[in-house]
Amino acid sequence: MIQLAKRVIRQTINDKRSVMLILVAPLLILTLVYFLLGDSDYVATVAIDPVAVPAPVIDALEQQELELVDITADEADQALDYLQQHEGVDAVLRFPENSAMDITLYEPSTKGATAISEIQEAMAAINPSAEAEVSYVYGTQDQTLFDSLGYVFLALFSFFFVFIISAMALVRERSRGTLERLMMTPIRRGEVIAGYTLGYSVFAVIQAIIIVLYAIFVLQLSNEGNIGWVLLTMVLLAVTAVSFGATISIFAGSELQVVQLIPFTIIPQVFFSGLIPLDLIPYHLGNLSYIMPIYYGAAAIKGIMVYGDGFSDIWGYLAGLTIYALVLYVINTQALKKFRKL
């Protein structure tokens, strides 16, 4: 078993692309995600007809982080056409005679939402009784999307990259005939899977440490709990990924087929990992998450990083992952009977 683990480590180190995929790719994507989901400092542009809008409102709007553009009364009447012709403008704000306020947006987007929230804040400034004070049990209003969803990516990365590499290595082992040769030595079937898992676990530990340190100390991902539990969860997730990869490799005839199976193996797990709140998924489809290993990892990491949970709160998820890995281990050991009944 140790022999096999050593070989897996040596083989992976000799293949530069695998090392990059495990150690560099997660950091690259995490950085991208940071910029995509982070605080954008976007300033929305709102068009108003200065004649029709009351002066205190204009004053209040100018106090907000908004770009104001003056338009004529005619343009304000034709708000839809105006927005279509002026791409840089996010919203047209009007005060028609018979209603309080009218906001026209180009499309339902984050830019429009920024414009609306700034306008609402301006209105609240004029009329303090309309202001709503929002408070949270966990987290603060200043947190970006990266803070509230970043944990999902920690789980995704520790699963995905190890899965890809281990599944491909095992498929290669089958197709090149080395697995048959391996099974003609006095190695036990269980040792093959255990050796693989052990070998990739070494990379999983290094990967988890690098990702977590980078996310928390460089990208300032907010973390309420103990980093140790995060690392443990990520490593456990990666161990499950090795077994998952080994199982998938049974159904793949070549490395290309591993890639072809990604829509069945990985993409559903991304949706059920916590990116979309499971309560919002109709027809109780959210329950499907229980058959997806990433769900257990992501839920545990969310517990630690967002709620500050300790072991007593997350052990259920860790147990779920462990059971998952054990079941796959048994399946994989049985599958090797194809090569040697013993």
- The contact set with another protein (CB under 8 A) reads 2-4, 6-7, 10-12, 14-15, 176-178, 180-187, 339-342
What angle do helix axes 2-14 and 189-213 make, rounded to 10 degrees? 50
Question: Residue 184 or 323: which CB sits closer to another protein?
Answer: 184
Place of tokens 């180190």: 13
Q: 273, 152 in Cβ contact below 8 A?
A: yes
Least distance to another protein, CB of residue 184, Å: 4
Least distance to another protein, CB of residue 340, Å: 6
Least distance to another protein, CB of residue 3, Å: 3
Q: Give the sheet arrangement for strand 66-70, strand by strand.
A: 66-70, 44-48, 91-94, 102-105
Question: Residue 182 or 211: which CB sits closer to another protein?
Answer: 182
Question: Residue 188 or 213: which CB sits closer to another protein?
Answer: 188
Nearest to 196 by CA among 157, 242, 247: 242
Least distance to another protein, CB of residue 250, Å: 17
Nearest to 117 by CA among 46, 200, 219, 17: 46
Least distance to another protein, CB of residue 4, Å: 8
Q: 230, 304 in Cβ contact below 8 A?
A: yes
Alpha-carbon distances, residue 334 vs 62, 100, 183, 282, 329 (angstroms): 70, 71, 13, 37, 9
What type of residue is 52? A
Question: Residue 40 or 178: which CB sits closer to another protein?
Answer: 178
Question: Residue 13 or 327: which CB sits closer to another protein?
Answer: 13
Least distance to another protein, CB of residue 306, Å: 40
Least distance to another protein, CB of residue 243, Å: 21
Question: Residue 57 or 258: which CB sits closer to another protein?
Answer: 258
| Parallel, antiparallel or unpaired: strands 102-105 and 66-70 | unpaired
DSSP state of 48: E
Nearest to 249 by CA among 179, 191, 296: 179
Question: Residue 110 or 338: which CB sits closer to another protein?
Answer: 338
